[in-house]
Amino acid sequence: MIETKGLTKRFGTLTAVDNLTLKVNEGEVFGFLGPNGAGKTTTVRMLCCLISKTSGEARIADYDVGKEADALKIRKLIGLVPDTVGLYDDLSAYDNLDFYGKLYGCTETQRKENIQRFLTMLGLWEKRDAIAGTFSKGMKQKLAIARALIHEPELLFMDEPTANLDPESAKTVRDFILGLKKEKKTIFLNTHNLDEAQRVCDRIGILSTKLLATGTPQELERALSSGGGARRTVVLLQEQATDAMLAGLRQLTGVGSVTVEGNKLDVTLSDPDKQNAAVIEAIVKAGGHIQSVTIAGASLEDVYLKLVREGGS
Amino acid sequence: MRLSQSWIIAAKDFKTLRKKKNIIYMLFFIPFLIAVLIPAVIGYVAHKSPAELVVFLPAFLFFYVILAGYLATPIASYTIAGEKVEKSLEPLLATPTTDSEILLGKGIAAFFPPLAALWGGSALFMLLMDLITRDELGYYYFPDSNTALVLLLLLPLALLMSVQVNVIVSSRVTDVRAGQQLGGLAVVPLMGLYVSGELNLINLGDASNLLIIAAALLVVDVLLFFVSRATFRREEILTRWK
């Protein structure tokens, strides 16, 4: 759905995006992680044909980004939730959406149906006639999402959709994105919220002007683990660990070291998310009673911080 | 360029403007105030001879051309600078609409409401003036061929100039108020013409003079069109407009 090769954007002497090469598949939620000023918004603006690229190539579906003749076709294909909601505060929620529906060339029936559908999904249908200026930040953000979806785009760009939202509103927006994911919508999500990226995205790209890494959250964690930042499962038992438990654990594949400290077992694993069930089963089989199981070690946050710091230096 | 996209944008702006009561009041108050005030002064306070009237009446009508330079300011600055303030330009630019279509839409929204107000006000002005000066002149002065030139040619051209000046100014300012203050400068050359008329440097009742002024305004409008198009580019808007 999205393919870039060496995509670069310079503003004068400042390089905002440097040699970006990535691929986003159809039906995928791709998270673009990076600190402020990493070039996330600039990338989205280039892909949405809002600003020109300095060099490199980019394609959305079968269209060339940067080719004047394709710009309108690309914009028709995509929906954008910008980092600022940019609603018309003097218009009602309904009129805001209706205006954009018209610009995207939707028929009156399509507009009516989609406005009702998306406002209902986002819990705003009852407020459809209320002036957008009276909405809370969360409601405005939801309305901006509905606006981006009004023409049922194949590809949705979301630029930090939960930034500045309270936890409840952020959760509503995240849940909505998860709902879109189930509908197999292709979503390009700019965020610097690691937890959000991990929960919502199929794959993640870490950007700091240059693309530092791409992969699933698990792949990125594993990559750091193999580089010395191993992930571990810490098991707290109700009793002292026994030799039988240790022997059972050491027989499992993918287990590195097992250390014991009183009633705490520290097990180094290649992929704790997949192997924890086997670890628990081995302990229980050996007669152990488990109080809690936690994953420690290289997390997506560790990966992100390591890459961004290395990228910065 | 698809006119339909521009009309959608203009229609949205008309809808938004309907809720801006201060702009609406200003738009209609001044043309209608002049329409009532000047006939009242001529009729009841400053009595004029027929010879004086035929000099003053076309000059008074020229007030509406001056107003054209002034009345486009609040709407034009609101439609462009207002979008900047509300940060609503980015989603608008992300739609399948070209820069020229957006610019034309904004132009339509800023052009027609003042035109309606000015034509309405000037119609009332002419009606009242005719009623008041009929006995003195022995005939109805308005409308004449010069009236048509002023209202159907000069006034729209002056309005177009003001709209375009305001688009350019609005792209360089940070808020609506600053846009209105600077955009109001469009009235200066028109005011200069009026003062020249009052000082007998130009005869504003002469059709050939009016045509020369119209031609000059047309040239200015064409030049401003290219400047405003060059100013309104999405990359500039998103990366430089602050």
- Whether chain B has a CB inside 8 Å of the CB on A148: the answer is yes
Task: Please tell me the distance from the alpha carbon of residue B84 to that of residue B106, in angstroms, as a whole number.
Answer: 13
Phi and psi angles of residue A165, each rounded to the nearest 5 degrees, phi first: -100, 150
Q: What is the DSSP letter of B175?
A: S
- Whether chain A has a CB inside 8 Å of the CB on B22: the answer is no
ipTM strictly over 0.95? no
Reduced to 3 states (helix: H, G, I; strand: E, B; else coil), residue A91 is coil
Please judge whether A51 and B239 are an interchain contact, meaning their C-beta atoms are less than 8 angstroms apart.
yes
Model confidence at B242: pLDDT above 60: no
Task: Please tell me the distance from the alpha carbon of residue B164 to that of residue B177, in angstroms, as a whole number.
Answer: 17
- Whether chain B has a CB inside 8 Å of the CB on A149: the answer is no
- Whether chain A has a CB inside 8 Å of the CB on B234: the answer is yes
Please judge whether A103 and B96 are an interchain contact, meaning their C-beta atoms are less than 8 angstroms apart.
yes
Dihedral, CA atoms, B117, B120, B122, B125, nearest 10 degrees? -120
Domains of chain A and any CATH numbers: 2-221 (3.40.50.300), 231-297 (3.30.70.100)
Q: Which of A33-47, A106-120, B106-120, B175-189 has the lowest mean pLDDT?
A: B175-189
Q: What is the pLDDT of residue A93?
A: 96
The gap from C-alpha A28 to its chain's centroid, in whole angstroms, comes to 10
Nearest CA in chain A to B239: A51
Parent domain of B71: 3-239
Sign of the dihedral through C-alpha A244, A245, A251, A257: negative
pLDDT tens string, chain A, 313 residues long: the values are 899 999 999 988 889 999 999 999 999 999 998 888 889 999 999 999 988 999 999 999 989 998 888 989 999 999 999 988 899 999 999 999 999 999 999 999 999 999 999 999 888 999 999 999 999 888 999 999 999 999 999 999 999 988 878 888 888 888 888 888 888 889 999 988 888 888 889 999 988 888 888 888 877 776 665 555 556 788 888 888 888 888 888 888 878 788 888 888 888 877 777 788 888 888 888 888 888 888 776 667 777 777 777 765 5
Q: In what order do the strands lie in the sheet with A55-60?
A: A14-24, A2-11, A55-60, A63-64
- Give the position of tokens 């709209």: B163
Tens-digit pLDDT profile for residues A39-66: 999 999 999 998 899 999 999 998 999 8
Q: What is the pLDDT of residue A224?
A: 61
Please judge whether A78 and B94 are an interchain contact, meaning their C-beta atoms are less than 8 angstroms apart.
yes
Task: Please tell me the distance from the alpha carbon of residue A207 to that of residue A223, in angstroms, as a whole number.
Answer: 16
Percent of chain B scoring above 90 in pLDDT = 29
Query: What global pTM score does this model have?
Result: 0.80
- Whether chain B has a CB inside 8 Å of the CB on A147: the answer is yes
Q: What is the mean pLDDT of chain B?
A: 85
Q: What is the pLDDT of residue B74?
A: 81
Size of interface A-B (CB pairs under 8 A): 74
Q: In what order do the strands lie in the sheet with A264-269?
A: A255-261, A264-269, A231-237, A290-296
What total number of domains does chain B contain?
Answer: 1
Task: Please tell me the distance from the alpha carbon of residue B99 to that of residue B30, in angstroms, as a whole number.
Answer: 33
